Structure formats: C-alpha cells, structure tokens
Structure 1
Amino acid sequence: MFVGSFLVENREELGQLRLVKLSLKTESGNGCGNVKTNTSAGSSSTSKDVDSEVQVAAAVEFTQAVQAVVADAARPQLSLASNSIADLTLRYNVKKPESNLYNSTTYQAAQGYDCSNIWQKNNSATSGIYMIKPRNAICSFKVYCEMSENGGWTLIQKHNGEDNLDFFATWKEYQYGFGDLKGEHWLGLEYIYALTHQTQRPSKLNISLGDFDGNEAYAEYRSFSIGEAKKFYKLAAANYSGTAGDAFLGFSNIPGSREHGSYFSTWDNYHDNCHEVCGTGDEKYQSCSDQYQSGWWFNACGLANLNGVWHAPPRHLHRSTSVSWPSWKFAESLKFSKMYLIYN
C-alpha cells in the first residue's frame, strides 16, 4: 500500500537529483499490480483490504518514520542505510525533485476502482486527483481523472514539454511512476497492470495527440492490457479505431516496426528485439531505449514512441528521439500526447 515519498537519493547515472518513492510492501511484495483471483468461484479475493487495521497501522508507522527523516533537515542527502526508514520494508523509485506524483504521507481510502467508476457513482465529479483501488489490486494509489459529461477517463501518461520532464528514465521509475499527476507524468507499469486486470472491467486505451499546427487526432483500442512484471509488461492492444492510425501496427515495408506484442524496455533493462545489434548503415546500437532515449514497448525498434524527447519547433522535424506516432505524423515530433484508460 502506497503511503508516501521523500527526497533521499542523488542518482549520479543521469546527473540530476531525483525523488525516491518509498512504499510499504504488501505480503506478496511485488507491487500494486499483484492480483489474487478466485476464478473457480467467479469472484476476486485480495490479500488484504486497504481499509484493514493492520495496513492502517503500518501506514501510521511509515508516516512517523518519514516525519523523523524530514525533521533531520541538516543533511542535504540521506542514505537509506543510515536513517530510520531503513528498518521498514521499502520499495523505491527515483524521480525528479519537482514531482508530487506520490506525495501523501497519510492514509486515504479509495474513492473507486478507477476514474470511470468514480464518475459512475457521481456524474458531477470534476477533473482532478483521486485515490483509487482497482478490482483485484492489493493497494490504493493516486491518479488524475479527466471528467466530462461522457464519463471519467484515467490518465496514465501525459507528455507536452510544459514541465520539462525527462522520460529517459530507469526501469524502476517506469514501474512505479514519475512526474506530476497534474502535469507531465508516467503513472507506472505496476499501476497500469492493476488497472488493466480488473475482474469484469475490461479496459480501453485512448491516445490523444496534437501537433504544433493545432491539429489533433486520436487512436483508440477497445481491448488493451499489459502483462505482469515477469513478462516485462507485454503490450496487448487490439480493435483499433480513430483518426491517428494504428502506429503499434507499424509499416509492412519497415522490418521490426510492429509493436503489438512487444515487451517494455528501458535503457537499464531492455527486452526489445535488437538481439546483437539494430540500425542501418553506419548507425548501429544494441538498445532501442538507449538510442531513442525513453522507455517504451520497442520491437526492433518500432515506430511509435510517445515517451520520446519533446522537441519544440523548428527542431521538431526528422528527430529520431521524438514524441512519435508516425501513422499520423511520420517525421514530426508531436506537441502533446495523453494516454487514458476507459471503462464502460
């Protein structure tokens, strides 16, 4: 169950200070996406409800530990091995210092399974940050809900350059999320897994895109889910409709461009199909994530890459590291992308 975050680590690999998210592990110990389902009975069963006295007591203990660390402000950088939080069972994730993606150190009850569920309970609900607990998930977590007269959409990615958020992130960051829920962010693969594996709540993916000329387009997949961590969050997207084209499908004349069924990769943990080497001519590389400076469902390497580097005009054309959805804009870095999960 997530309960808080605090600045505790400087990651030298990227040369910038980040936030380390600290969260209590549940009994299964593998993150919010873990699911325990009683399929024979046709119903789901979670390890422990987030409202249980045991987990609330654990949250209080963790909050007290965080407060103790905050009080020790004399040290500009803290070590997990030398502070009181080290006595707790921790999961960490490195993030930018301006991030408030997971900034609550107090226990909060879930307000629904997802944003669609919250809207179904209250059609007048407004857009903003909500605490949710998907069916079968073992923890609650915060998301940004975009509410309209048509329903509630759960935002899992937003990339528009406004926060200068660096998406060239580690495996742990992509697992547990980074950025600001009110601005640019990646929700986290563990949480996306939980959201796409709810009993009797199939999820749709809606991708909203915009270019620098004011044009907008969308791609929607009526069936969308990702695999669990041990399967490297394998992409499953089907039944496309929309105006932006199916960039996951790739182009038949470009080998390795299809991303349907691909595994997620980051620069420090890649599962693409480069094998020994990718590239053409003199440009050779062994990691799509490293080459295109993002985490994504790369093939070898594929074409779509909504977590790519944000480039402003006039330097947004013909950039390999771009925010890319080439079935709509082939050689152009996009102004924005937003990825939503929707439930009927």
Structure 2
Amino acid sequence: VVYDIRNCKQIHDHGNRESGIYKVYSSNQRKLTVYCDMDTDGGGWTVFQRREDGSVNFYRNWKEYRTGFGEPDQEFWMGEDNLHYLSGEEKYELRVEMRNCVNVTKYAQYRYVEYYKIHIYSVVENNNYIYSGNSLAIHNGQPFSAYDNDQDIYGSNCAFRDKGAWWYKGCHHANLNGLYQPCKVAWTSASWYSFDDEHQGLRFIEMKVRPL
C-alpha cells in the first residue's frame, strides 16, 4: 500500500487525468474516498463540498461538519477533520465554482487556506473564467461555526439564524452551506453576495483545494 498519495494533485501528477472517485491517504494513514476534478484550470483539485440538487441536508451540527456527510460524487461535505489531515502542513489554494439560477457560472480562487479557522492570503484571477468577487474577505480569520457551536462575533447565533455552517463573522457575505433554494433571495440561502450583489440562492456550488 502506498501511503504518500494524499491529494488529487499527486494523483494527477502520476498520470491520472480523468475526473472522478479516487482513494487517498491522510497524514494519519487513514484511507479516504475523494472526488478529483482533473479538468478545471489544470486539474488536480480535491473537491470537498458540492451542492447541486438539494438532495442532502446541510443544516447539520458541529460533529457532522467535522466528520463529513454525503457521497463525494453527489452532494457532500468532506469534513473539517479530513481536510485538516489531508492538507498537513502544505500550503493550498482554494477554488469556488458557482452557478446561479439562470445558469451563469462564476468562480473565486484564493491562495493558502486553513480550515478550522479560514485564512485567505490573496485572490487569484484567471481571464479564462468569470470572477465572482471576493465574498470571503469578511470571513478571513474566522473559526468555523455550526448551530450547536457558535464561534462568530454576532450578538446572536449566525448558523442558527442563517440555517447553515460556515466561517461566520457577524454574519456573512458567503453562506455556501446554507439552505438549497435556488433564486430565492434570503439570508438563509446558499449564496455568495458578490455574485449578483444580493443573497440569492445558487443552483450549483463546488469547493475544491489544490497544493501550491
């Protein structure tokens, strides 16, 4: 067994160029099933979140967000613990792909991400894609909150109010784990404010990471 294959970038570099399900090993040698995006911007992306049809409930507690839920080729969240063990001490970039209810697709991309507390160091723009704006800016440095583990700076509970789990501050410009309700403008919608300058529910969301 080869224990040093820890992410989709390594799989890509070994010559596997087809998007789909693969096995990798975390830093504690736990085998994980992941979805690799081998097509976008050079490939090698490990997908850790996807929203596409509302089939999976994302309004979940802290333990479930730490361990993960759903299936990696469908709607899912990989889990904060798995992300942490996969990344180790490496520096990563984050890419967020989004499509709204009229099928306009945009993206945001950042360098260096930590997961339990999000740290974004720079925005990456690519002229081959439509940039969605930087709705993560106000979340920088924030710990992850769920409705039963409130770590935001809001006077109340952002995760409970906005029906999600996220790196809330007070409360959000991005709420990608909110309720799946495409086109609906609401605090509770799975949304990215700078996509359309409103909290409109998105139809498709995919979050993915790749080593720098």
Pair in the same fold by TM > 0.5: yes
Match of 1:336 in 2: 204
Q: Contact 2:3–2:29 (CA<8 Å) still a contact in 1?
A: no
Letter in 2 for 1:244: S
Which residue of 2 is the match for residue 170 of structure 1? Answer: 61
- Secondary structure (helix, strand or coil) at the match of 1:118 reads helix
Corresponding residue for residue 106 of structure 2: 217
Query: Does structure 1 residue 323 correspond to structure 2 residue 193?
Result: no
Q: Provide the TM-score with structure 1 as the length reference.
A: 0.56
Aligned ranges 1:159-308 → 2 under 5 Å: 159-160=51-52, 162-198=53-89, 201-226=90-115, 233-242=116-125, 243-249=131-137, 258-274=138-154, 277=155, 286-308=156-178
| Uncovered stretches (5+) of structure 1, i.e. residues with no partner | 1-50, 52-108, 227-232, 250-257, 278-285
Which one-letter code corresponds to 2:7 in the other structure? D
The alignment status of 1:154 with 2:53, answered yes or no, reads: no
| Equivalent residues of 1:111, 1:131 under 8 A apart | no
Secondary structure of 1:328's counterpart equals: helix
Q: Deviations over 1:123-156 (max 9, x none)?
A: x44222211124x444221111112382321000
Provide the C-alpha distance between the structure 1 equivalents of 2:140 and 2:119, rounded to a whole number of angstroms: 6
Specify the alignment match of 2:128 in structure 1: none
Is 1:116 aligned to residue 9 of structure 2?
yes
Q: CA RMSD in A?
A: 1.8
Instruction: For structure 2, list consecutive stretches of 5 or more residues without a partner in the other structure.
Output: 126-130
CA distance in 2, matches of 1:320, 1:148: 32
Which secondary structure does the structure 1 equivalent of 2:196 belong to?
coil
Counting only pairs closer than 5 Å after superposition, residues 32-181 of structure 1 correspond to structure 2 as 110=3, 112-122=5-15, 124-134=16-26, 136-148=27-39, 150-160=42-52, 162-181=53-72
For the pair shown, which has the larger CA radius of gyration, 1 or 2? Answer: 1
Deviation at residue 163 of structure 1 after TM alignment:
4.8
What is the alpha-carbon distance in structure 2 between the residues aligned to residue 300 and residue 204 of structure 1?
Answer: 25
Residues 79-136 of structure 1, C-alpha deviations (whole Å, 9 max, x = no match): xxxxxxxxxxxxxxxxxxxxxxxxxxxxxx65711001011011x44222211124x4
Q: Hey, what does 1:101 align to over in structure 2?
A: none
2:187 alignment partner AA: S
Question: Is 1:157–1:339's contact at 8 Å kept on the other side of the alignment?
Answer: yes
- Moved segments of 4+, more than 4 Å: none
Sequence identity of aligned pairs in percent? 28
Flag the 1:330–1:137 CA change in 2: closer, same or farther, 3 A.
Answer: farther
Q: Is the CA contact 2:132–2:195 (under 8 Å) kept in the aligned structure 1?
A: yes
Work out the CA distance in 2 between the residues paired with 1:179 and 1:330: 30
How many residue pairs align between the two structures?
205
Q: Residue 158 of structure 1: SS of its match in structure 2? A: strand
CA distance in 2, matches of 1:158, 1:195: 18
| Aligned counterparts of 2:165 and 2:147: Cα–Cα separation in 1 | 7
What's the TM-score once normalised by structure 2's chain length? 0.89
CA distance in 2, matches of 1:318, 1:113: 39
2:48–2:78: 8 Å Cα contact kept in structure 1?
yes
